Amino acid sequence: IQSVLDQTRPVQLCLVDNGNPPDVAQRLVQLASREPRVTLIQGYGNIGFSRGCNTGARAGRGGKLLFLNPDSKIQPDCLERLEKYILETGSGSMIGARLVDAQGADQRGCRRAILTPTTAFIEALFLYKLFPGLRLNFDKEPVPAILSPVPAISGAFMYMRREDYWGINGFDEGYFLHVEDLDFCLRFARNGGITYFAPDVVVTHIGGTSGHAPNAFIEKSKAQGFVRYFHRNFGGHYPAPFLWLLDLAIWGRAYLKIALAM
């Protein structure tokens, strides 16, 4: 939170309290009462990532939107760099950042391909070791030196114009947790948008805020998200039996992970 308020550009920080414990919720109330740049949205409980993002976007007044996970820390000139890039790339552009963990290592997901049923099977069977060009995540590839187009980025950090966000109706609220960012990137591209990766916008993403939820809930949410994603976006492009087999693999993997965690 403080890293956002420390930006060199004016900001409005819309905080969506997505079911925090009472002590955390009270601290957020105290923060909003003394900080006019903070807009606090409470009272809905845990409404999921997609609905939370859409709710925050509606509360914002600016022409640009930055979706930022609460476990992330940005540099003071982050918005300055983003504004420069969004002006350079023009309408219909979305900017992602270089996400690193607390030790500075690149994280998966901030540069990746569009997920398809084919790439899902390649990932599941580790075939990308034989065919590196078919890898879903690009974190093993050299970091580009300049702003570069990529197929998809992480929902932990997305920057775009308000009209481009609502031009595809924001995040799909049919997703509760996980996969909604991949769906957004796919719909953004199909609508003519171009997604970029900014290597000099470095964000420390600790990760794990959703990890406080029960493991079974997280795995079931992931499975539901993947099934929704593949059927809604590729139902007319792949034979139904292929997608049913994929459904079986998705749910089998989810219940196996739940069982192993017990």
- pLDDT of 153 reads 98
Q: pLDDT per residue over 116-153, tens digit each?
A: 998 888 887 777 778 777 788 888 888 999 999 999 99
**CB environment 18-48: b (16+ within 10 A), e (fewer):** bebeeeeeeebeebbeeeeebbbbeeeeebb
Q: pLDDT per residue over 3-33, tens digit each?
A: 999 999 999 999 999 989 999 999 999 999 9
Collapsing DSSP to helix, strand or coil, 255 comes out as helix
- pLDDT of 214 reads 64
Using only the alpha carbons of the chain, give its radius of gyration: 19
Per the listing, tokens 């970029």 go with 196
* 2, amino acid identity: Q
- Take residue 70 and report the two structure tokens written for it: 């609460």
- Take residue 15 and report the two structure tokens written for it: 């905080």
> Do the Cβ atoms of 248 and 223 come closer than 8 Å?
no
- pLDDT higher than 60, residue 213: no
Domain boundaries, the chain: 2-211, 214-262
Residues 194, 149: Cα–Cα separation, whole Å: 7
| Beta-strand runs (E) in 162-193 | none
Of 65-74, 132-141, 191-200, give the lowest mean pLDDT range.
132-141
Residues 251, 253: Cα–Cα separation, whole Å: 5
Class of domain 2-211 as given by CATH = alpha beta
> Do the Cβ atoms of 149 and 137 come closer than 8 Å?
no
- pLDDT of 128 reads 78
Nearest residue to 166 (alpha-carbon basis) of 41, 54, 59: 54
Nearest residue to 201 (alpha-carbon basis) of 70, 86, 57, 54: 86
- pLDDT higher than 70, residue 243: yes
